[in-house]
Copies of this chain bind each other. A is one copy, B any other.
Amino acid sequence: MTTTIHDVARIAGVGIGTVSRVINNNPGVKPATRTKVLSAIAQLNYRPDPIARSMISKRTGAIGVIVPFFTRPFNTELLRGVEIALTQLGKELVLYNVMTDTQRDHYFSELPMHRRVDGLLILSLQIEDTFALHIKESGIPVILLDAYSPFFTSLVVDNIKGAYQAVKYLIEQGHQRIGFINGVIEGNIKFNQANDRLIGLHRAFGEAGLLFEPELLVTSEWDRYGGKQAACQLLSQEKRPTAIFAASDMQAVGVLEAARDLNLRVPEDLSVIGFDGIEVAELLELSTVQQPMRQLGELGVSKLIVLMKNPQQSPELIRLNSTLMIRRTTRAPA
């Protein structure tokens, strides 16, 4: 038998209105009655039912997070940042993992109606405008992390600048033949991690007055296997590159594996630099472009909280900077 507010009222000898006021710290309760109610609550070990509460308040105290959780360790890191911030605020986190496009679109179209969460954080996912509009109409507050849409406040890392720094560093070290392994481009081209990294690379080349030869660009999946395959392709060219820049650390790990298979020493024969700054990069002493993942997550949460309090706020685009981490896999060419 669940104990309700009525039981408390009965035991305390007051009306349920008063109990409710006490629970919610509403003013206008005589201290004497307050203590009576409080002790009745303690005696019964009563807890208000959150469901009945949200029935009226239309709030659940939970935040939904839509994330391609499994695709890349990068997302796990983002999720950690989000989780830390949410826990500190006493908010519950409902995790919606998307593994396929169908699933993603399903969440985009159904979740806003469900009202099971007070706000939505969408990580690393492209939103088509029709879905964005649909979500916008529903009125649920949304913040995008590592993704961009003109309809929502979007927090992104400056991928152009990050890639630019990495490539510039390689060039400064004396590398001229630099291979680039990009990740597959999906969806929206206006903010696209892969495309932006390519742009950054071109900028660095341009600035140095060098030519980036198209055969040095290979696109692969964002994972280790993709990286390895792409590296093999790059390294089997007659004039093979002296350095490879990979669009993600996992791809860079694949490059490392390919190099080992081909008996190339890193960094003596080949410099390798990744992108993301996940933990493996540190373990393998991989040079990389470090993204502020935790910070991105935490900032995203605080932006969402603000938006929930002030739903009319217009969308903004916030860019965070990455940090170039030079470790053991890069050096000047022989």
Contacts and interface: CB of A to CB of B under 8 A. Distances in A.
A121 to B, nearest CB: 13
A11 interface: no
A284 interface: yes
A62 B224 CA distance: 34
Contacts of A208: none
Given A94-B62, A113-B47, A83 B55 contact: no
B60 A83 contact: no
Interface string A93-111: 1111101000100000010
Interface string A67-88: 0011000001000100110010
Contact of A55 (B52, B60, B116): B52
A80 to B, nearest CB: 6
A247 interface: no
The number of times this chain is found in the oligomer is: 2
Interface string A247-260: 00000010000000
A195 to B, nearest CB: 28
Interface in A31-70: 47, 49-52, 54-55, 60, 62, 69-70
B92 A87 contact: no
A118 B167 CA distance: 51
Contacts of A203: none
A190 interface: no
Contact of A280 (B83, B99, B280): B280
26 contacts: A47-B110, A47-B113, A49-B115, A50-B116, A51-B51, A51-B54, A52-B55, A62-B94, A62-B116, A69-B80, A69-B83, A70-B80, A83-B95, A83-B97, A87-B103, A92-B94, A92-B96, A93-B94, A93-B95, A93-B97, A94-B95, A95-B95, A253-B283, A280-B283, A283-B283, A284-B284
What are the 10 A-B residue pairs with the smallest beta carbon separation, nearest first? A47-B113, A93-B95, A83-B97, A95-B95, A51-B54, A94-B94, A50-B116, A92-B94, A55-B55, A50-B114
Interface of A: 47, 49-52, 54-55, 60, 62, 69-70, 76, 80, 83-84, 87, 92-97, 99, 103, 110, 113-116, 224, 253, 279-280, 283-284
Given A47-B113, A51-B55, A83-B95, 11 more contacts: A50-B114, A51-B60, A51-B116, A62-B94, A62-B116, A69-B80, A76-B76, A87-B99, A93-B97, A279-B280, A284-B284
